[in-house]
Chains A and B, each alone.
Chain A
Amino acid sequence: MQYIRVNDLAFHYENEPVLENISFEVNPGDFVMLTGENGAAKTTLLRNILGLLKPTKGTVSLSSKNRKGKKLVVGYVPQQVASFNAGFPSTVLELVQSGRFQRGKWFKKLDKHDKEHVRRSLESVGMWDMRHKKIGELSGGQKQRISIARVFATDPNLFVLDEPTTGMDVHSREQFYQLLKHNSEAHGKGILMVTHDHEELRRYADKHIELVRKEGSPWRCFSMDSCKELSKHHSSFH
């Protein structure tokens, strides 16, 4: 089964093509990195996949079920979400707890299991001690880390991450990649991540999709170079 299946996708902004001939799949257990120069419509592609935009041509299917036949849970970290809503009146803990709501907790109280997930997620990004801080008081890197903690708290079947490591130091990035790798290898999670750190990430990812500028096109239109399988590198995370 595929969590994401993109088939010959094209997307036009008004009448101007920005994406063409995009086809790939993300299966359970896949760790896929999506790269491309600035303005290569990487975010546009993610938004098409998530249903936030409609493709002009081709099809995108996002599975409704996970590999166990239950409802697929998608964890999405938008680009620079933390800086977008920095003035939001919420503590770090409240925000990360909100990641658990989509696990059937919209109308129920969070239980011990949920709270344990939240604690572990905050600890995994080194933010447990700052849980009572207001999110607006955090630095850019810290905000990014709690966005990551939030998506880990959701414990989704499919991670869709748009440059989630912006503003994070090398050590934090490495830790994050190891965690993702562990999630894909040990728990069969699907991961699709837009990144500029492809040299660092290629040691962890299984597939690499690069959006490249389409030659001969009068517009700034991007297409897929190929979907390269990367050599398997087993993480040291335990």
Chain B
Amino acid sequence: MFFYGFMQRAFQASFFISLIAPMLGLFLILRRQSLMADTLSHVSLAGVALGMLIGTDPTITNIFVVVLIAVALEYLRMLYRSYSEISIAILMSTGMAVALVLMGLNDGGATLSMNQFLFGSIVTINQQQVLMLAILTVIIGSLYVLFRKPMYVLTFDEDTAFTAGLPIKWMSILFNILTGVTIAVVMPIVGALLVSAILILPAAISMRLSKSFNGVIFIGMIIALTGMLSGLVASYEYGTPPGASITLIFIFIFALTVIGKKITLRFKQNQFSKS
């Protein structure tokens, strides 16, 4: 399978996604925005549907729509500060509704392609998307190295960050835009329904394994690589959708982590009671 061009591109894409996912995922979790990725992926469908309707590259319209909504999300988050999930509910349903209406206007001609965006498909990855992912990885990696400290303080407590003189509004908007663009680029590979799982799960698992902030990102990358690559192999071997296969492997790793931690804790308690 490694000799097929589409599989090579899939592995390359998975490698880049594995580097990006824990960086974005950790900040999304800590900012209580885990579901934001889900919202943006639903909105992404509207972007794809719009591209298909007007006959342009869906990835371009998708990025445009998602960036717009990512900014709107920040506005709504500030408006409903105490109930930030309201912004997610409003935009998720709007995104889905717009997607369905646009698909309807397209006389159903886009249904097959839409399925690829919903569930993801290895064959949909082209060289241009791999290149976009590589560029995105460089941008996000550089921004992480540069803004790691301000983002650490921002995610720990926004009021403290504001008092320390950080431009919290612009940082939040930029973060949302980066998340949106990532989702728009990743969606055709893993599928809109599971893109948020791919972003969130590696960081969620590694948060249980590492004490330090950088440790969570590093372990998250290893977990993401393991899940993504083995998920792709499974997807190829059994003909299952890649997003779903990868997600199930992440869930399996998560379960292993929980059980492993329980066993370690019990072992330590036994050692302690013996001594």
**Residues of A that sit less than 8 Å from B by CB:** 47, 50-52, 74, 76, 78, 81, 84-85, 87-91, 94-95, 98, 101-102, 105-107, 132-134, 160
Contacts and interface: CB of A to CB of B under 8 A. Distances in A.
A132 B152 contact: no
Given A89-B207, A98-B152, A78 B26 contact: no
B213 A160 contact: no
Interface SS majority for chain B: helix
Nearest to A89: B216
B164 to A, nearest CB: 4
B157 A89 contact: no
Contacts of A107: 146, 149
Interface of B: 26, 30, 146, 149-150, 152-153, 155-157, 159-160, 162-165, 207, 210-213, 215-216
A78 B156 CA distance: 12
A134 B216 CA distance: 12
Given A88-B30, A98-B153, 17 more contacts: A52-B162, A52-B163, A74-B163, A76-B160, A76-B163, A81-B157, A85-B30, A85-B156, A89-B30, A89-B210, A101-B150, A101-B152, A102-B165, A106-B149, A107-B149, A132-B211, A133-B211
Contacts of B156: 85, 88, 90, 95, 98
20 contacts: A50-B159, A50-B162, A78-B159, A81-B157, A84-B157, A85-B157, A88-B30, A89-B211, A90-B156, A90-B212, A91-B212, A95-B156, A98-B149, A101-B150, A101-B153, A101-B164, A105-B149, A106-B149, A106-B150, A107-B146
B207 A78 contact: no
